[in-house]
A and B are shown apart, each in its own frame.
Chain A
């Protein structure tokens, strides 16, 4: 994650100017052939999404006839979107998804960065044990815990509440790990000045370290938001009240009742993904680098 500040420079350095020079030195035919191949694959990769968009803008009756009819249809309509948005269910699901994703992201940020601050900046008894526990946590497949989690949430009477979706997703060990790596790179001298002024630990954490960690904070926040939004397994089993369902769970539950209304189904699929696509447009770099960081360091 420390690469966040340096990578824009590196990107222009390597993938901007250098390949052009490399290409000239080594066979223009190779470059042209591979370039065309890449473009063809990229177009293939876009087809499913584009086809879903096209279907969602087609009349339900036409969409039921088949793919050929959808592709040749020339009278786009927003009917499916309007119908879904007027129905009301989807607004409940949006609310549920936004609420759980935002609260999970905020609490994860706060708790994980505080823990990382202690691990990175403070010497204390039990530090090695805590660090070991975190490394072990990186290897625990949380999905496998769905059955005991369900039982626990039932005992705590949290089933069918937003907390059932939020609480189990907060202990993100990878977030602690990412924060710790970033904090380790911040020079100690920066907090000394604050300490001379008599600042306590909380003021060093909140007033010195966190403001310096904006890039990593943004990356962790956005990734946690995306992961929570996309989680299916947990909300599927802990939320059975249709009004509380997150949007992926809501869609999965009602898809059977759509029957042959294919345009409506595709419109629903797109509405479920839309906030994430918007997020990608604005925070492309943070998302890509966050995902890379979580993969390489995890």
Chain B
């Protein structure tokens, strides 16, 4: 840094704040690395390390019963996954779950947030009702919903019989409805996340915009359509991508509510991965499936980063 200005009067020591870029930021490489070290070591050991190991093991016949990587398998694990029906069906179930949960989670949370924001009183009550489930353990929500879905005489059967539906074997025991049951429980559980994101977005909208719209004679519905929805488009983009990523990683509710059943009707990708690794002891094959899921999620996460950066750039510019 000091070499940059040979003609200037000699600066006494490095820490003495070089003028210009960086202001009073100090160049102190060894100390900085000391501050970084604890986090960096654990990050390397439990994030980067396992990731590399996962990629390597996906090319070997690794198992949990023998130590080491096992014999080299080339692309066999990947080819096996592509040939397996249950791999594709687990991907399909994951997609199915995404399709069932993302639209209600986005639309309903938006509606609830807009309406809550309009309320002059009792906001704490709505926050409690919609947000509290989000911080509960998946075990709690699963036990509650499995009980609600008890066949024949559970809480769910009361309105179902009233509406003339046959309670039948129960929503979770029927292969064609089990995923819907999981989706209902999930929407109830996680809507609070989107709800508070939207509420935060709503509070950024200047009041003057609504007042101007009201002066122009816009009805409440027109205000929502012309002011609220366009101004929250960045939040909506973010919410949709975060929701898709979260649904691709679904495991807890399925494991706890149906264990992937009936049959494999609700088996999702992470369920298939853990079964392959811990029940079949085939770590190599499970690693290949992990890599594939990893890549799918990474693509969507990259998209999310792009959307969020473009959004903040635009905000800075305006």
Contact = CB atoms under 8 A, between A and B. Distances in A.
A249 B142 CA distance: 12
B39 A146 contact: no
B145 A277 contact: no
A138 interface: yes
A67 to B, nearest CB: 4
Nearest to A265: B143
B148 interface: yes
Nearest to B270: A143
A199 interface: no
B231 interface: no
Contact of B238 (A20, A30, A205, A296): A296
A51 B148 contact: yes
Interface in B41-80: 42-43, 45-47, 49-51, 53-54, 57, 62, 64, 67
Interface string A11-24: 10011111110110
B39 A31 contact: no
Nearest to B127: A288
Contacts of A247: 137, 139
B219 interface: yes
Interface in A120-171: 121-127, 130, 133, 135, 137-152, 154-155, 167-168, 170-171
B27 interface: yes
Q: Binding site of A, secondary structure by majority: helix, strand, loop or mixed?
A: helix
A255 B133 CA distance: 21
Given A22-B210, A142-B47, A14 B132 contact: no
A81 interface: no
A148 B290 CA distance: 10
Nearest to B256: A252
Q: How large is the interface on A (under 10, 10 to 19, 20 to 34, 35 or more residues)?
A: 35 or more
A45 B36 contact: no
B39 A114 contact: yes
A95 interface: no
B301 A139 contact: yes
Nearest to A230: B137
A10 B196 CA distance: 15
A145 B43 contact: no
Contact of A67 (B120, B143, B145, B157): B157
B203 interface: yes
Contact of B26 (A123, A251, A262): A123
A26 B294 contact: no
B51 A176 contact: no
Contacts of A112: 39
Interface of B: 22-29, 31-33, 35-36, 38-40, 42-43, 45-47, 49-51, 53-54, 57, 62, 64, 67, 112, 115-120, 123-127, 129-140, 142-145, 147-148, 150, 152-155, 157-158, 188, 193, 196-197, 199-200, 202-203, 207, 210-211, 214, 218-221, 223, 235, 238-239, 242, 245, 248-249, 251-252, 255-256, 270, 273-274, 277-278, 283, 286-287, 290, 293-294, 297-298, 301-302, 304-305
8 contacts: A14-B117, A18-B210, A20-B120, A26-B219, A148-B53, A152-B50, A230-B135, A295-B238
